[in-house]
Chains A and B, each alone.
Chain A
Amino acid sequence: MLAFIARRLFQSVIVMLAVAFIAFMVFRYVGDPVSSMLGQDSTLADHAALRERLGLNEPFYIQFFSFVGNALQGQFGISYRLQQPVSQLIMERLPATIELAFASASIALVLGVVLGIYTALRPRAFSTGVIMTASLIGVSLPTFLIGIGLIYVFAVELKVLPSFGRGEVVDLGWWRTGFLTESGLRSIILPAITLSLFQLTLIMRLVRAEMLEVLRTDYIRFAKARGLSQRAINFGHALKNTMVPVITITGLQLGSVIAFAIITETVFQWPGVGSLFVNSVAVVDVPVMAAYLVFVALVFVVINLIVDILYFIVDPRLRDGAKSGR
């Protein structure tokens, strides 16, 4: 088990280094940072001085090492656009994104798993047909359309929920949360639903497909032949086996909820990391883009690691497999 985790950690470090390298290359080659920082009416001497100060005259690999070294300390330089440290910008906006991701992931997971089980256990019911058809719509509608539709219905026509922003936030010192005020909670409803809809339908369809598969296996037939109760079979034996493959996909999907909430954040003007990224792309704010790239990679690497560890906990066959090195 420990050897396995050590190996995965090592692989994660390699992935992070590769991403850092790509981020660094973007930083270096997308436009000239010096001219975009100094503006047009600067002298060549100013350019040279700034170049020296930023270390741009150093050899390529030394620049990369100092980039990685800075990144390890959370330093990604100064945003061109906002003239603030990038790490500070991201830390300010991270709580908003994480709260949104948390809310929508909870909706997606709970509803997705419940509906998936329901539709798998009643494959021929009318309600299953309705849910499955509705889920097709959820999969095929683009996020921005759902967002705009929800805003139109609940904010513009019914005027029951706010259409943009986080509402009031409470500053806990290191974290600004919208969960503690009424307006904050009301504000998160629409974006969270928008963001969760695709994941919800995906998880639901996945759970259903896996569960149907598992219900056909011999050990479920044998469990029935032993006279176990329907509940014990469906929720004990079948569900646990269903969860093994579902964990992987769900993990990756949650990663993309955190990392790619961009569209939802833009539609609802949610002050998170995604909208920071979109605004930065518009003005080629390279340090922010590089930092965002590294951040997204980190999210995925961490989630993958958690998924692998969860696998170990759920599936005893893997525990032995790791012992024999396979």
Chain B
Amino acid sequence: MTEPVLSIKDLVVEFPFRNDVFRAVNGVSFDIMPGEVVGVVGESGAGKSMTGSAVIGLIEPPGHIASGEIRLKGERIDNLPEEAKAKLRGRRIGMVFQDPLTSLNPLYTIGEQLIETIRTHLPLSEAEARQKAIDLLTEAGIPKAAERMESYPHQFSGGMRQRVVIALAIAAEPELIIADEPTSALDVSVQAQIIKVLKKLCANHGAAVMLITHDMGVIAQTADRMVVMHQGTVVETGTVGDIIRRPQEPYTIKLINSIPTIQRQAGDVTPEEAANDDGAYVQVKHLVRDFEIGGGGFLKLLPGKVEMFRAVNDVSFAIEKGKTFGLVGESGSGKSTCAKMIVGLLRPSSGQITVDGHDIWAGGAGHKERRKRVQMIFQDPYASLNPRWRVADIVAEPMRTLGIARNRTEVDHRVAELLTRVRLDPSVMRKFPHEFSGGQRQRIAIARALSSQPEFIVCDEPTSALDVSVQAQVLDLMQELQDEFGLTYLLISHNLAVVRQMSSAVGVLHNGVLVEKGPTDAIFDNPQADYTKMLLDAVPDISRVA
């Protein structure tokens, strides 16, 4: 029996507060064998990132390891002095963080950062370190690595930056890589590439991987074994196939059931044949939006100097009343720009949007109709609610501005009713947004959207900031409200599984062009466009576990 690379035993991480001690990690034990990829999965607050921080010795004070031991190749590392721990970091344990946009220092070129890291750990000359850096970048899939050494991080896309981050983590040939949500901030197609790069590099360099993620799909595709964590404790440990197909613990079963899958499931919306477009409730015709780039300032005055970027290019679709249309695309595909034009936040360069026969950009009556009938739910429930307003005021604002209800008792009555509808207790209306969890906030945002009694709601990534189990609840709620009020949804998401579950028809956006649209099943089961096929292939899905 070989010795494990990493062995964690009864690890407890505590955060002392004034009157209380919060145990972020409570008695966690697991091993990672050489060359093995172990996925640590759990929802936010499960303590999975904290376990990773404990291993690499980067817990933010006042948090500290209260008891338990961490052994690296049999050698105890949790009680080492700070300088000795610093020597392990990078050299024997590497780490990859979630957000590639913020994990590189913006003021240094990637070459400088790589060479600095390599020379800190390995006795190489400047020129040798440079060559090694170029090799690493090439291995991580960065084209023309030698030229890109002089580039700054902001000159790379998110996926490219994450490749650089992985190259940096593996630069000194560590035995263990801790990857904390390495792909959560990336698009699906990029996500698949990054997972491949991470796996390949770690295999080439013989490093074991501790892969921390909330995304069961990523683990299913990548890991050999997995550890399910919940509220600081390990719920279940086993091989990936075992846990996904035969989960033992109730929490694991619940977690796995709440994951939407891109495969068809009983209970999904039954797609119907699209009726003819002319009678549809919402119609979007030949929508175009250009943005000016370059040649700002003085150059604007000169004719022909302004460069245009077409964010949305001739997009047309229609949504039947009471149905959900899913708009899928990666970041930069123009899906949010579409949403902004449809709710009236951004004027289209050309094209027409009608809701129930009213042109919403025609001004006058159309404008007023739009404000009443069209509402929006935003992605980030933390940023979309005014932190200094009480819930009652947030929910009541559309009523007040649109003059639906004026006197206080009537407003209060309606707010209470709305909160009940989104399954919140009406007594919460005196509270402020920060007193709620992400899922509860998104319910408040939905209550606010419903407040003007709209018929059409644009949901821009309504669940992508939420945990899987919370996501399932919010999606269920949206479904119920649709059945109850006959709402029409435009659901914008990069998450194909969510779209599959919710929509009756789907449109796929790529670089501002609608490459494919049609009934959900047709698109998912029999995609025509190459881009759609690529997108579907890239989705990490737990149902693919062999």
Contacts and interface: CB of A to CB of B under 8 A. Distances in A.
Interface stretch (A155-163, A203-211, A228-236, A256-264): A228-236
Nearest to B85: A227
Contacts of A236: 116
A240 interface: yes
A229 B120 contact: yes
B97 A226 contact: no
A181 B452 CA distance: 79
Interface in B60-110: 86-91, 94-95, 97, 99, 102-109
A222 B120 contact: no
Interface stretch (B166-174, B384-392, B455-463): B166-174
A225 B89 contact: yes
A241 B102 CA distance: 13
A30 to B, nearest CB: 37
Given A225-B58, A227-B87, A227-B172, A317 B108 contact: no
B294 A218 contact: no
Interface in B102-146: 102-109, 116-117, 120-121
Pick from B58, B90, B168 the residue with the most CB of A within 10 Å.
Answer: B90
Given A221-B58, A325-B296, A240 B107 contact: yes
Interface residues of A, number: 30
B383 interface: no
Interface string B220-250: 0000000000000000000000000000000
Contacts of B168: 222, 226
B482 to A, nearest CB: 39
Given A7-B297, A7-B298, A227 B120 contact: yes
Interface string A199-220: 0000000000000000001110
Given A228-B117, A229-B120, A316-B154, A221 B97 contact: yes
Contacts of A3: 297-299
B99 A241 contact: no
B293 interface: yes
B9 to A, nearest CB: 23
Given A7-B297, A320-B154, A219 B90 contact: no
Nearest to A243: B107
A227 B106 contact: no
A5 B101 CA distance: 29
A313 to B, nearest CB: 11
Contact of B116 (A218, A228, A324, A325): A228
A18 to B, nearest CB: 19
A242 to B, nearest CB: 10
A103 interface: no
A220 to B, nearest CB: 8
B94 A315 contact: no
A218 B103 contact: yes
Pick from B88, B169, B297 the residue with the most CB of A within 10 Å.
Answer: B297
A219 B103 contact: yes
Contacts of A219: 102-106
Contact of B91 (A227, A230, A316): A227
Contacts of B169: 225-226
A314 interface: yes
| Pairs A-B, 4 closest by C-beta atoms | A227-B90, A325-B296, A227-B89, A225-B95
Interface of B: 56, 58, 86-91, 94-95, 97, 99, 102-109, 116-117, 120-121, 152, 154-155, 165, 168-169, 171-172, 293-299
Interface of A: 3, 7, 217-219, 221-230, 232, 236-237, 240-241, 244, 314-317, 320, 323-326
12 contacts: A218-B103, A221-B97, A222-B97, A224-B86, A226-B171, A227-B90, A227-B91, A237-B105, A237-B108, A240-B105, A315-B106, A325-B293
